[in-house]
Amino acid sequence: MDGAVVDSEGLIWNARWGASCIDAYTPQGDRVRTLRVPAKQPSCPVFVGRNFASLLVTSAWEGMDERARAADPHHGRTFILDVGARGRAEPRVRIGPA
């Protein structure tokens, strides 16, 4: 698992590193959806756009040799997915003295 975000209905969207997919889980941990991503190592999903209606997912090439990179031509790209869910704004956090 590599990076997660929660949508407005409480589903947890998680990038499954090495498996070319994003999974959505209930708060109880039941997987309810799996979306394919055109890169082997998806990472760091985040809801973006107007009303947080799109899921942005990065992908990585970390740990891939030349052969693996050639076999995964979409490594290192960013994807915007229409997942039929809406995210929510992340809370503002201030670290340090007020």
Instruction: Tell me the mean pLDDT in the region 6-31.
Output: 95
Annotated catalytic sites, by residue?
A: 2
* DSSP codes of every residue in the chain: ---EEE-TTSPEEEEETTTTEEEEE-TTS-EEEEEE-SSSSEEEEEEESGGG-EEEEEE--TT--HHHHHH-TTTT-EEEE--S----PPPP---S--
The pLDDT, as a whole number, for residue 91 is: 81
- pLDDT tens for each residue of 62-87: 888 999 888 888 999 999 999 999 99
Instruction: Tell me the mean pLDDT in the region 44-73.
Output: 91
Instruction: Tell me the mean pLDDT in the region 40-66.
Output: 92
> CB neighbours of 88 closer than 8 A, spacing ≥ 6?
6, 7, 8, 47, 52
| Phi, psi at 78, each rounded to 5° | -115, 140
57 pLDDT band, cuts 50/70/90, is very high
